[in-house]
Chains A and B, each alone.
Chain A
Amino acid sequence: MALLTEEQIMLRDAAKGWVADKAPTMSLRKLRDTGAWVSGYEPGAWKDMAEMGWTGVVIPEVFGGSEFGYRSLGVVLEETGRTLTASPLHATAAAAASALLLGGSDAQKQAWLTRIAAGDVTAALAVDETAHHHPASVALKAEKSGAGYVLTGQKRFVPDAAGADLLVVAARTGGAPGETAGMTLFLVDKGARGLSALPLHAIDNRAHADLTFEATPAEVLGEVDKGWDVLAPTLDRATATLAAEMLGTASQAFEVTLDYLKTRTQFGQLIGSFQAMQHRAAKLFTELELTRSCVEAALDAIDAGDKDVSALVSLAKAKANDTLHLASIEMVQMHGGIGMTDVHDAGLYMKRARVAEALYGSSSYHRDRYASLGGY
């Protein structure tokens, strides 16, 4: 674990400024209320992100990135998480970019990472097929067809996939669902034959989609039957960076609530002077501090290539899940009636919280994984 470098502090401050200026929660409301959520983002915002270098934070310089690493990407996502910024940044620059980085051939990296870094394309990682995150259960079938492969099957609730130009898809070339062997990763172009995307109007108004593949042509990413070797570390990277975004969301939910405790009066007192409120606020603050340590440790472990990455990632996600869950509930409760109204942001935070908690594994999924990694 390390302190932020000067570069990272600059990155954070720039992100803080941009988010306040260009992506307050009002932007999310606009996406929701105009129906523009289907595409998941405002093109102007995505262009800004690319110009600020956010799209290439983990991408090597030869492909147009800055290679600042995952901790740095986490620093940015924490800030976008604060205002619930709807963008393909996580899906593209963290999830899909990691798969390309870890499994891509030079040609594939050249073709896609450069365009991701430049902000010319967006991408998404399609793994789960049922209601819960369980990557080993992939069943979507990949079959040889001529020189290449075609995919047939479905993916459920793929994060930010509705408008994605490129899909990284986990499919089965061998083995049975539940086994990690026999999995292969594929690249599928948005316009590929037999691919259809159903945009999902979910509670968080992000551009998630169900995907259907009917003999859809696909290009192998990495080695056939050994997709798990790339998918597992890719999921760790996607999960840890999502936890960073969630830490930002939880921190903001807490700070907004704390401000309210300092302004709302009842019985002639500020409600924040009541001990029933003070102790709950202090406990939530405690959870936030503990969660921050886990998220930073997981991201640093990824950058350092530690052996212990998977356990730390499960730790970070489980803590981020539980803390954001608590923060979102307390945000509504401590605001009282106003927290139940649509005009207040509390509902937006709670809705995004539940989606983020489910993506890349619930707390029970990660506790089970942590215990298994620990040999019990």
Chain B
Amino acid sequence: MADFGAEIDAFRTETRDWLEANCPASMRTPLTAEETPWGGRKFKWKNPDSKLWLDRMAEKGWTAPTWPKEYGGGGLSGAQARVLEQELARIKARPALFSFGVWMLGPVLLEYANEDQKREHLPRIVRGEIRWCQGYSEPGAGSDLAGLQTRCEDKGDHFLINGQKVWTSYADQADWIFCLVRTDTTRKHEGISFVLFDMSTPGVEARPIKLISGESPFCETFFSDVKVPKSQMVGRLNGGWDIAKRLLQFERQNISAGGFGGAAGLELEEVALAHVGSVDGKIADGDLRGRVAAHRMDARAFALTVRRVELEAKGGKGLGPAASILKYAAATLNQHKHELMLEAMGADGLGWEGAGFDSRNVRETRAWLRSKGNSIEGGTSEINLNVVAKRVLGLMDHQ
């Protein structure tokens, strides 16, 4: 990785010194679900260090390290960004910002938005000032996303939006939405546009959906006569599908690269050792031990594949075929992990809440339930397999 020799070494030293001086001590402890730094206008900062850490990182543009400096990004090369990542990992620093703006919207704005839109939105994403949500799925448009019906009519000086979205992640906590709307009812894919608007606009309502895990990370989002300035359409009228697909690539890549999971949970083998017991340092239940090892190996294989995809992309080969399998593999892996975790915890993992159960175990149990969505959200596993079969393997459609 010594592409640029001395230059990159200097950057590493500089970065290390800066992180040493600027990363607060509490930001070097494992991230907890409560302290996940989402930012935005409505956000309550539980730990003031989280805000300090975000502000310092944003000041350097390092919440979006490879975005151009003119839009608030870090302006780093791929090699420098990799160094930053390694140095952050070295001190076990928490991510400074969790952001759909950074992961999904920003990359497509850089490609498709006009100059005014870039200048308005990108710096505020970098600084974590605006929290974004994704208006994609609808009650009648899940796997068949392009079947979406939310209407967007041209009313001369503005657009008027009516309809409903569903599975909108954190819509109740978001400030703005990037939204797919129908601007032509006579064509399917070519009748979709990509618009941005403020969630506080009159006529927007987000209702949280309670999940089997007891949490409500998703909402039903309703739009009735929502007025949107025409300057807030990204790309051309009826040209939204390409942007939508591109954004999905970033979403799947992001899910893939980090895998599912978010906040650090318990280690599977440690849970198994603690709850099942050990003989000569080995998990006492030999069958479970074998399956724990198989899972840990699958997780390692996945991490190595993510690394290989990154290397191949940097090697100028673009995203190779391996990239296409990551989302499916990540979902399968995370669900398998949580099933094993639940099994390993035994009775201690069967608690919903309250006395008699350790809160860390309850969190794992809730995470098990939440993980069932991994093979549904961001494209179901079945759709992922269709995509691999058709686009990568060249298998044909049924006639």
Contacts and interface: CB of A to CB of B under 8 A. Distances in A.
Q: Do A and B come from one complex?
A: yes
Interface of A: 1-3, 258, 261-262, 268-270, 272-275, 277-279, 281-283, 285-286, 289-294, 296-297, 314-315, 318-319, 364, 367-368, 370-372, 374-376
B293 A273 contact: no
Contacts of B392: 282, 285
Interface in B361-398: 382, 384-386, 388-390, 392-398
B297 A370 contact: yes
A281 B395 contact: yes
B28 interface: no
B395 to A, nearest CB: 4
Contact of B325 (A274, A289, A318, A371): A289
B281 A279 contact: no
B322 A293 contact: yes
Given A279-B389, A289-B322, A315-B297, 13 more contacts: A1-B311, A261-B395, A273-B399, A279-B382, A285-B325, A289-B325, A290-B304, A293-B304, A294-B300, A315-B300, A315-B301, A319-B301, A364-B290
A290 B305 contact: yes
Contacts of B386: 275, 278-279, 282
Contacts, number: 130
Contact of A371 (B292, B300, B302, B382): B292
Nearest to A277: B395
Of the listed residues B289, B302, B308, B395, the one surrounded by the most CB atoms of chain A closer than 10 A to its CB is B395
Contacts of B307: 1, 293
Nearest to A316: B301
A268 to B, nearest CB: 8
A285 B297 contact: no
Contacts of A294: 300-301, 304
Contacts of A270: 396
B146 interface: no
B296 interface: yes
A294 B296 CA distance: 13
Nearest to A286: B325
Given A283-B385, A375-B281, A291 B395 contact: no
Nearest to B303: A293
Contact of A281 (B278, B300, B329, B389): B389
Most buried by B among A2, A261, A296, A376: A376
A293 to B, nearest CB: 4
A376 B292 contact: yes
A269 B398 contact: yes
A273 B395 contact: yes
A286 B328 contact: yes
Contact of A278 (B297, B322, B389): B389
Nearest to B388: A282
Nearest to A371: B293
Contacts of B308: 1, 292-293, 296
Given A273-B396, A370-B293, A376-B269, A279 B302 contact: no
Contact of B304 (A1, A262, A274, A372): A1
A3 B393 contact: no
B389 A371 contact: no
Contact of A286 (B278, B290, B329, B399): B329
Interface string B276-316: 00100111000001101110111011101101100110010
B311 A2 contact: yes
B181 interface: no
Interface in B74-133: none
B272 interface: yes
B93 to A, nearest CB: 23
B248 interface: no
Contacts of A293: 301, 304-305, 307-308, 322
B282 A290 contact: no
A363 B315 CA distance: 33
A296 B307 CA distance: 11
B315 A3 contact: yes
B24 interface: no
B398 A274 contact: yes
B273 interface: yes
A18 B273 CA distance: 51
Interface string B253-283: 0000000000000000110110000100111
B388 A285 contact: yes
Contacts of B203: none
Nearest to B310: A1
Contacts of A291: 301
B385 A282 contact: yes
B396 A272 contact: yes
